[in-house]
A and B are shown apart, each in its own frame.
Chain A
Amino acid sequence: MTMDDRLSWRKPDIALRRAPFILSDEMKLRAERTLRQAADAIRKAGEGSGRL
């Protein structure tokens, strides 16, 4: 098993479907916080990747 198999979902791994509910305000607030932190972390990871 390669690293990308372990840390990524592939088509045969999962089932996708539309959720039968809408997001609560609390979930949306958490999503905003998660996404801002994640974007910062990804930008910082890119700065340190040292790719040519």
Chain B
Amino acid sequence: MPEHATRSVPELDQMEQDAIDFFLTYEEDIQLILRNPRLLMDKEEWGNFEALISHLDRALSQSVLSRELLLFRGMGRDIAGTFLFMLDVPAGGGDGDVVTDLIPHLIKEPGYTLFSTDPGAVLRELPRDERETQVIFAYLSRPGDSAVAIDEEGSEMLFPRKATWVTTGSTTALWDRIPVIIISIEMTGCGEEIA
């Protein structure tokens, strides 16, 4: 278990451990329902889903980071252009300066937020077009943040659901000759009723 989590997954109770294992298997479905609860709300499985989310939330609340971690998450091509326009960040990237006077924007994620400690893992999986600038978010976690490592290496960290993130600045860097716009974010709140 990674050393940055003060409480390791094996210390979780069986229900919480099972919930994390279930999340690893059915991540796509769980995230889809959290983002679109009406898909399941009127069905008899809703009670079981709420119980699962309760165990996942409890696992997250019991696992806190002991130190800062630099974490990354990507942004798909279907929204990156609009997003950069909203933030007034040049889509072609800048000159590498650090900018913190952007108008802050909120990103509301109804599901859990998954980050990677490896920016290459995020960038490698984004559709690659060398004419297009890639957009990646960077979050420097705080000691005491609730987060669970969902792989043995601790390279993928799951953060609480229904989080609101705020953009705090931008810069650019070259990754393997491809320009990357980096947007820094902070969490401003999380965790409410599912729907």
Which residues of A are interface residues toward B (Cβ below 8 A)? 1-19, 21-23, 27-28, 30-43, 45-49, 51
B146 within 8 A of partner (CB)? no
Which residues of B are interface residues toward A (Cβ below 8 A)? 27-28, 31, 35, 70, 72-76, 78-79, 82-83, 86, 96, 98, 100, 103-109, 111, 114-116, 118-127, 136-140, 156, 166-178, 180, 182, 184, 186
- Report yes or no: A42 in contact with B173, Cβ–Cβ below 8 A: yes
- Report yes or no: A32 in contact with B125, Cβ–Cβ below 8 A: no
Residues in A neighbouring B96, C-beta threshold 8 A: 39
Residues in A neighbouring B167, C-beta threshold 8 A: 19
User: Which of A14, A36, A43, A47 interacts with B98 by CB under 8 Å?
Assistant: A36
Whether A46 contacts B175 in the complex (CB less than 8 A), given A4-B76, A22-B104, A38-B182, comes out as yes
Give CA–CA (A19, B103) in the complex, Å.
8
- Report yes or no: A6 in contact with B108, Cβ–Cβ below 8 A: no
Chain A contact residues: over half helix, strand or loop, or mixed? helix
- Report yes or no: A42 in contact with B119, Cβ–Cβ below 8 A: yes
Residues in A neighbouring B122, C-beta threshold 8 A: 7-8
B194 to chain A, nearest CB (A): 16
